[in-house]
């Protein structure tokens, strides 16, 4: 409200008269001219009301100097909205209830070719703005209308990208530096080469933390096509970025890095008196340090590349030997050792257990076997060390049917430690027979009082198991909860049953 209007209201219109037109907004000039023909006392209140309404209504925005214009409306196309039941569940998950299930639900919607309904699009887009790591899962369900809506809000423009349009990808990449890593993950799922080109286009200008995150996007669909770029990343200014590049190259069996480490460190193990022992005289060279091999006296997180960092002649500590073996034996194809010593994997694993560094060697050999998916070595390591934490990572290399069969052998034997490893390390879903056996196994522990040694760990892992167990077993889990002896187990199994019931609703809602 202008000072002139306020003064006229306080003094009285008869005494002060109407304020001059130039003291009011220009849009009210015509109204002022019309009201000035009336007595001031009669004209003042309408003029005050009109001014208040004008101020409440605001004004036209200033012209956008960025050149942005309202995008043309895009029709939705053939992507149908999800069902009302699925929309209700999506809204619940976006509101922070049962959020661990959101990625699974988004994946189910995308796999079914369904999108979020129109009224939920603002909530979906805002969720992605707040939690960038979820964008690769959210983008497939916004549809054409969601991309159009995203272009209207600067905070949502990360979702305005069209993955099939290189110009749209380039514009989104350049406009949102903070969102490049999740965008790279999203594009990588559809076009690995396009994602790599985007990463390379701004690589040198990215900050250290961003380059590390961008390399992480290459894990999905990693192939030899990525090797030239990763080779250049071995010379990055940031140590953690160099190590990430080395890890990715180590996962490519035919990479030059694997060949270089095998050639330079292929004699790091010697067979003496039936046992494998490490033998690596002299310091680690600059070339090996560049390939990620740990150097003496320098933690792997801060590897330097000058000879001054080595300590010629100084004995290696156990920690240094452990890092050295992990960064060489863990990279060298395990078939190299069979060819070098003329022994089968089982005999070499036995020799490793007989040596001075059994745990380190088994872990390193397991890492190498996992990278090569070498089933001869995988079977030998499991046979020699059981399903221990040292070799448990190898479960991720098994086919589902093989994993289920191995678990079925452990459950009747009462090998609680092995079952813990299966629950922790198996990355895929469980089939219904195996999951039913696992619920019965958990119920058996729940019926024992006092608690077993592995009871707390099993209760903790039951939350992870709930996301991989078939939802159809919700009733079986509820029966197990009803028979639980202690309150801790009753709560854990009840939560398992509740999660399975909700996941069953998700499956039915998506159809």
Range in 12-21, 73-82, 108-117, 248-257 the model is least confident about:
12-21
Mean pLDDT of all residues in 348-356: 93
Mean pLDDT of all residues in 288-296: 89
Is the link from the previous residue into 232 a cis peptide, with omega within 30 of 0? no
3-class SS of residue 489: helix
The number of angstroms, rounded, from the C-alpha of 425 to the middle of its chain's C-alpha atoms is 17
Range in 24-38, 156-170, 239-253, 463-477 the model is least confident about:
24-38
Higher pLDDT: 10 or 506? It is 506
Alpha helices, H only, 26-142:
29-35, 40-57, 84-94, 102-111, 121-130, 135-138
Give yes or no for a contact between 495 and 481, defined as CB atoms under 8 angstroms apart. Answer: no
**Which residues, other chains included, contact 165 with Cβ-Cβ below 8 Å and sequence gap of 6+?**
none
Q: In angstroms, how far apart are the furthest CA atoms of the chain? A: 117
3-class SS of residue 280: coil
Nearest in space to 295 (alpha carbons), one of 314, 311, 318, 277 = 311
**Which residues, other chains included, contact 414 with Cβ-Cβ below 8 Å and sequence gap of 6+?**
none
The CA-based dihedral angle spanning residues 209, 290, 314, 276, taken in that order and rounded to the nearest 10 degrees:
110
Q: Which residues pair with 53 in a beta bridge?
A: none
Tens digits of residue pLDDT in 186-238: 999 999 999 999 999 999 999 999 999 999 999 999 999 999 999 999 999 99
Tens digits of residue pLDDT in 157-193: 999 998 888 999 999 999 999 999 999 999 999 999 9
Note the pTM of the prediction, 2 decimals.
0.80
Render the burial of 302-327: b for 16+ CB within 10 Å, e for the rest: ebeeeeebbeeeeebeeebbbbbbbb
In percent, the amount of the chain with pLDDT more than 70 equals: 90
Q: Which helix (H) or strand (E) holds 184?
A: helix 180-188
> How far apart are the C-alpha atoms of 282 and 280, rounded to whole Å?
7
> How far apart are the C-alpha atoms of 236 and 204, rounded to whole Å?
9
* Confidence check: pLDDT of 312 > 60: no
Q: What is the pLDDT of residue 66?
A: 52
> How far apart are the C-alpha atoms of 101 and 134, rounded to whole Å?
12
Nearest in space to 239 (alpha carbons), one of 311, 304, 190 = 304
3-class SS of residue 272: strand
Alpha helices, H only, 221-357:
227-233, 239-250, 256-265, 286-290, 318-328, 335-341, 345-354
Give yes or no for a contact between 362 and 349, defined as CB atoms under 8 angstroms apart. Answer: yes
Q: What is the pLDDT of residue 23?
A: 78
> How far apart are the C-alpha atoms of 64 and 202, rounded to whole Å?
27
In Å, how far are 456, 458, 465 from 492, measured between CA atoms? 10, 9, 11
Crossing angle of helices 166-175 and 192-201, rounded to 10°: 40
Nearest in space to 240 (alpha carbons), one of 300, 162, 325 = 300
Nearest in space to 484 (alpha carbons), one of 446, 448, 438 = 446
- CA angle at residue 159 from 157 to 164, to 5 degrees? 120
- Banded pLDDT at 1 (limits 50, 70, 90): low
Q: What is the pLDDT of residue 300?
A: 42
Higher pLDDT: 48 or 384? It is 384
**Which residues, other chains included, contact 301 with Cβ-Cβ below 8 Å and sequence gap of 6+?**
239, 240, 243
Give yes or no for a contact between 242 and 224, defined as CB atoms under 8 angstroms apart. Answer: no
Alpha-carbon Rg for the chain, nearest whole angstrom, is 33
> How far apart are the C-alpha atoms of 240 and 228, rounded to whole Å?
19
> How far apart are the C-alpha atoms of 27 and 382, rounded to whole Å?
83
- The HSE-up count of residue 154 (CA atoms within 13 Å, CB side) is 5
* Confidence check: pLDDT of 262 > 90: yes
Beta strand 275-278 pairing with 269-272: antiparallel
Q: What is the pLDDT of residue 311?
A: 44
Compute the mean pLDDT over every residue in the chain, rounded to the nearest whole number. Answer: 88
């Amino acid at each position: 409200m202008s000072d002139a209007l306020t003064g006229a209201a306080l003094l009285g219109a008869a005494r002060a008269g109407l304020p001059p037109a130039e003291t009011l907004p220009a849009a009210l000039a015509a109204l002022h001219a019309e009201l000035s023909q009336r007595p001031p006392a009669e004209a003042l209140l309408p003029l005050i009301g009109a001014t208040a309404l004008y101020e409440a209504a605001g004004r036209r925005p200033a012209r956008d100097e960025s050149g942005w214009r309202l995008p043309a409306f895009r029709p939705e196309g053939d992507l149908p909205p999800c069902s009302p039941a699925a929309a209700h569940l999506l809204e619940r998950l976006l509101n922070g209830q049962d959020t661990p299930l959101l990625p699974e639900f988004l994946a189910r919607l995308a796999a079914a070719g369904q999108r979020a309904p129109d009224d939920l699009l603002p909530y979906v887009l805002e969720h992605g703005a707040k939690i960038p790591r979820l964008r690769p899962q959210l983008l497939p369900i916004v549809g054409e209308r969601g991309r159009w809506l995203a272009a209207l809000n600067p905070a949502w423009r990360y979702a305005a990208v069209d993955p099939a349009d290189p110009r749209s990808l380039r514009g989104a990449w350049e406009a949102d530096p903070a969102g490049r890593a999740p965008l790279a993950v999203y594009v990588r799922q559809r076009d690995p080469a396009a994602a790599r080109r985007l990463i390379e286009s701004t690589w040198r200008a990215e900050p250290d933390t961003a380059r590390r995150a961008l390399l992480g996007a290459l894990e999905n669909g990693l192939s030899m096509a990525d090797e030239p770029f990763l080779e250049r990343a071995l010379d990055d200014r940031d140590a953690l970025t160099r190590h990430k590049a080395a890890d990715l190259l180590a996962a490519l069996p035919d990479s030059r890095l694997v060949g270089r480490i095998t050639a330079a460190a292929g004699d790091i193990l010697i067979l003496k008196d039936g046992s494998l022992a490490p033998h690596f005289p002299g310091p680690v060279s600059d070339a090996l340090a560049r390939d990620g091999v740990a150097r003496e006296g320098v933690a792997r997180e801060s590897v330097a590349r000058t000879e001054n960092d080595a300590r010629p002649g100084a004995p290696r500590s156990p920690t240094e030997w452990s890092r050295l073996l992990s960064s060489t034996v863990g990279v060298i194809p395990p078939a190299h050792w069979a060819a070098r010593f003329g022994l089968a994997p089982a005999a070499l694993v036995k020799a490793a257990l007989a040596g001075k560094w059994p745990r380190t060697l088994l872990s390193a050999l397991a890492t190498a076997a996992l990278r090569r998916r070498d089933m001869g070595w995988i079977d030998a390591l499991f046979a020699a060390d059981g399903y221990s934490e040292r070799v448990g990572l190898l479960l991720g290399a098994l086919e589902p049917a093989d994993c289920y069969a191995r678990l079925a052998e452990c459950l009747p034997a009462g090998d609680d430690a092995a079952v813990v490893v299966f629950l922790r390390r198996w990355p895929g879903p469980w089939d219904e027979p195996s999951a039913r056996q696992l619920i019965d196994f958990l119920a058996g522990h729940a019926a024992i009082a006092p608690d077993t040694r592995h009871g707390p760990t099993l209760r903790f892992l039951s939350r992870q198991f709930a996301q991989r167990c078939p939802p159809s077993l919700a009733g079986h889990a509820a029966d197990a909860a009803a028979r639980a002896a202690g309150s801790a187990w009753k709560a854990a199994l009840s939560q398992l049953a509740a999660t399975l019931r909700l996941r069953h609703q998700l499956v039915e809602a998506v159809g």
